[in-house]
Amino acid sequence: MSIKPIRKAVLPAAGLGTRFLPATKASPKEMLPLVDKPLIQYVVEEAVACGITDIIIVTGRGKRAIEDHFDVAFELEVLLRDKGKDDILKEVRAISDMANFSYVRQPEALGLGHAVNCARNLVGDEPFAVLLADDIIHHVPTALEQMMAVYRETGSSVIGLQQVPLAEVIKYGVILPETISAGLHRVVDMVEKPRPADAPSNLSVIGRYILQPAIFDCLDRISAGAGGELQLTDALKRLLKTHQIHGLELVGDRYDAGSKIGFLKATVALALDSPELGPEFRSYLKGLDI
Ligand code: UTP
């Protein structure tokens, strides 16, 4: 079996971001700045570092800032050049040079499954990655890199997992695992947002996926599930009937940057780790009377 390389990544960014209102009333959640870059740039960089060349962003109303961010900022570049600010010019230019960006609209926020299906024509008949910008996983090797290693071995779809406290499974898709080796599981079944008593495990799906294109036929066949949304988990459950899916427990601290508290925690962690800001920020935090 020849294993096709993963060249494309789908970044769903059409959600309403209700947990982060009012900040997300007129600005996309995916553009919230984490230290000095918008959330979505972190996942673009994660994808590109894995050899992905084509970034497909699923957008909706009020998300224009995302397209502008990854476009060439001609006037800004001229201004920076005139002022001799070459370092920052290089950094700004690099953002639009990172990959081939394309955009597709999700007309209505009908759920993550629906958002991924909107990218069908741009993905075509090849395996692809899905990365959610609000799941920040801070680690080297990155989450997607860890999963790519499993994909290269198995050629199957791979989903990113982390163990969560049982009381919190209701926020996630959860798998029934058949464990292969430490941290690596064959997915036997899946359920979206189970009550703790009904959860098949505490292994929860987080925002990284490598998917076979057969997922699109499954997405066509699902109906509204948990929360009245078209759920990617329900399509994955269908995919299991014909295809293997592996689940990999991801190594790294994971932050739900789509929630206010998760975003604050991610900001502190990444700022402390920043070569530029870390030392000053650390001594500032140490000096706080808390
Ligand atoms: P979330 O459920 O975290 O995003 O979806 P949300 O709906 O924007 O946020 P809340 O829960 O209302 O605060 C995870 C990812 O899937 C995208 C979101 O943009 C986010 O990146 N998404 C979700 C879509 O693109 N379309 C949808 O219909 C739903």
Q: What sign has the CA pseudo-torsion 267, 270, 275, 281? A: positive
**Structure tokens given for 67:** 């397209």
Please state, in angstroms and as integers, the Cα–Cα distance from residue 190 to each residue in 21, 64, 84, 186, 232, following that order. 30, 35, 55, 11, 11
Q: CA 121 from chain center: how many Å?
A: 20
pTM (predicted TM-score): 0.95
CATH superfamily of 8-286: Spore Coat Polysaccharide Biosynthesis Protein SpsA; Chain A (3.90.550.10)
Distance separating alpha carbons of residues 20 and 249, to the nearest angstrom:
27
How confident is the model over 170-228, as pLDDT tens digits? 999 999 999 999 999 999 999 999 999 999 999 999 999 999 999 999 999 999 889 89
- Collapsing DSSP to helix, strand or coil, 133 comes out as coil
pLDDT reported for residue 110:
96
Q: 244 phi and psi, to 5 degrees? A: -75, 145
**Ligand 1 pocket, 132 CB below 6 A?**
yes
Q: What sign has the CA pseudo-torsion 46, 99, 130, 12? A: positive
**Ligand 1 pocket, 58 CB below 6 A?**
yes
The reply to whether omega before 33 is within 30° of 0 (cis) is no
**Ligand 1 pocket, 173 CB below 6 A?**
no
For residues 22-48, average pLDDT:
95
238-241 own/partner pairs: CB under 8 Å, 24+ apart: 239/157, 239/212, 239/214, 239/215, 240/187, 240/188, 240/189, 240/190
How confident is the model over 235-265, as pLDDT tens digits? 999 999 999 999 999 999 999 999 999 999 9
Nearest CA to ligand 1 atom 18: 15
Q: How much distance in Å is there from the Cα of 134 to the middle of ligand 1?
A: 9
Q: Please say if the pLDDT value at position 1 is more than 70.
A: no
pLDDT reported for residue 73:
87
Share of the chain above pLDDT 70, in %: 100
pLDDT reported for residue 207:
97
**Ligand 1 pocket, 205 CB below 6 A?**
no
Q: How much distance in Å is there from the Cα of 15 to the middle of ligand 1?
A: 4
